[in-house]
Amino acid sequence: MKTRLTGIKKKRELPKNSLIEKGILEADEVQVDNLWAILKYKDFGIMRKILCIADVLKISREDAVEEIPKDEDGRLLDKPTRNLIHNALIRKSAYEKQEQIK
């Protein structure tokens, strides 16, 4: 589905088996808290957030940036990226709740 304003195709989730998604699902509680704090912090942009997230998850910065949605000119898209990471963190929380029930 393309957005009306930009004509850019929307991504609803990170690519299958993405490093960020895998890292989030394998993260411990403290790492997840750090990721939420990074995501919610408003004083720096999406590139710096991705670099911080890569450091917390101990994954390659270059590979993390490569997975992020970009426009036709190669610029990182802020809102779609934040939404993708937010959704991955929500899935992590739901996964942890299921594990606690078992």
For the chain, the straight-line distance linking the first and the last C-alpha, in angstroms and rounded, comes to 37
Q: Which two tokens stand for residue 22?
A: 């895998």
Q: What is the CA radius of gyration of the chain?
A: 14
pLDDT digit string, tens, across residues 52-82: 999 999 999 999 999 998 988 989 999 999 9
User: What are the φ/ψ torsions at residue 8 (nearest 5 degrees)?
Assistant: -90, 135
23 close to 91: Cβ distance less than 8 angstroms: no
Give strand pairing partners of 9: 2
Average pLDDT, the chain: 85
Has residue 36 got a pLDDT over 80? yes
pLDDT grade for 50, boundaries at 50, 70 and 90: very high
26 pLDDT above the threshold of 90 = yes
Domain ranges across the chain: 19-101
Q: Is 9 exposed, middle or buried (0-12, 13-18, 19+ CB in 10 A)?
A: exposed
> pTM (2 decimals)?
0.78
Judge whether residue 100 has pLDDT over 80: no
